[in-house]
Amino acid sequence: MTGLGPTRTEPAASVVPTGALPSFIEWGPVFAGAVFAAALSFVLLTFGTAIGLSATSPWPNSGLPARVIASLAIFWIMAQQIGTFMAGGYVAGRLRSRWHEPAQDEVAFRDGLHGGLVWAVGIVIGAALLMATAGAVARTGAELTGKAAVAAAASTTNPMDLVLDTMLRPAAAASPRAPGQPTDDPRPQMSRILTSAVASGSLSGPNRTYLAQLIAQRAGIPQEEAAKRVDEALSAAREAADKARRAAILTGLVTAISLLVAFAAAWWAAIKGGEHRDNAVPARFAFGRQLRPRT
C-alpha cells in the first residue's frame, strides 16, 4: 500500500506467525543482551581501574590530583554503564523475532520493551554478583581476623583514631609518664563519647569536662589547652562525618541518574536494533568493515 509514509522492509524469515509464541516477550534475546552487557561492563571496569591506578601515585607532586581522579572515575562509571546497556539493548532488539504487529509504533514499543528488560535483568545480575562478592569478602575477612590479630592490634583503620591520637599527644615528645598515672587505654571510651556527640549533635558539659581532664592528665598539658583540643577534635569528627554523608549522597545521585539514562539508552538501542533487523542492515564493526554472509 502506498501513500502511508515510509515502512520497514519485512523479510519473511524475520516474521513469526501469530500464535507461534506464548508471549510477545522473548526471554532469550533479553538474557543474551543482559549477559553481553554484564560481560562488557566487567571488561570496561577492569580497564578503567587499571588506568586509574596508573594515574595515581603515593609520592608528592606525582600523578593526578585526587579531585581529578574522582571526577574521571565518576565519568567512566557512568559512561561504561550507559554504553554497556546500550549495547545489550541493541543485541536484544536485533535478535527479537518479528511478530505480525499491526503498526510501526507497536513494533518500536515492543523492541524498546525488550531493551528495558535487558536493563532490568542486568541490574538484577549486578546486584546478585555484588551480594555474592560481599558475602565472600565477609567470610574471608572472618577467617583472616584470627590470623591477623597481632597485626591488627599494631595498625589502626578507624578514622577516629587519628583524632584521638591528636587529643592525647603529649606537650613534649619525650614527656615522661607521671608517677601514679593510669596505664589503661582511654581511647575506646573517648571514641564512644565523641561518636555519640557527633550523632546527637552536641557534647554535654560533663562529658566535655571529663575529656578535658583525661587529656590534661594523659598529655601533661593545662586544663584550658585540653578543653581546646576537645573542641577541635569534635569539630574534626563532625567534618569527617559530614564529608562521608555528602559522598554517600553524591554516590547515590550519580548511580540513580546513570541508571535512568542507561534505561533510556537501552530502550533506544533496542529500537534501532529492531530497525536494522527489519531492514536487513548488515552488522558493522571497527573501521566500518561490513560482515557479509559466506557464500
Tell me the mean pLDDT per 10 residues along the chain, length 295.
46 48 78 92 86 72 75 86 93 85 82 93 82 56 41 46 59 46 68 80 82 83 85 84 86 87 94 89 60 47
Note the pLDDT of residue 182. Answer: 52
pLDDT of residue 176: 44
Residue 232 confidence (pLDDT): 86
For residue 106, CA distances in Å to 36, 103, 266, 268 come to: 26, 5, 17, 14
**Alpha carbons 121 and 263: distance in angstroms, whole number:** 11
In sequence order, the 6+-apart residues with CB closer than 8 A to the CB of 60 are: none
Taking a C-beta distance cutoff of 8 angstroms, is the pair 116, 272 a contact? no
At residue 6, the pLDDT reads: 45
Q: How many residues does the chain have?
A: 295
User: In Å, how far are 14, 177, 280 from 7, measured between CA atoms?
Assistant: 15, 90, 13
Q: What is the spatial distance between Cα 241 and Cα 247, in angstroms, rounded to a whole number?
A: 10
Q: What is the pLDDT of residue 4?
A: 45
Residue 211 neighbours by CB under 8 Å, 6+ apart:
167, 190, 193, 226, 230
Distance CA 85, CA 81 (A): 6
- The ranges assigned to domains in the chain are 23-149+257-282, 157-173+182-240
Provide the pLDDT for residue 145. Answer: 39
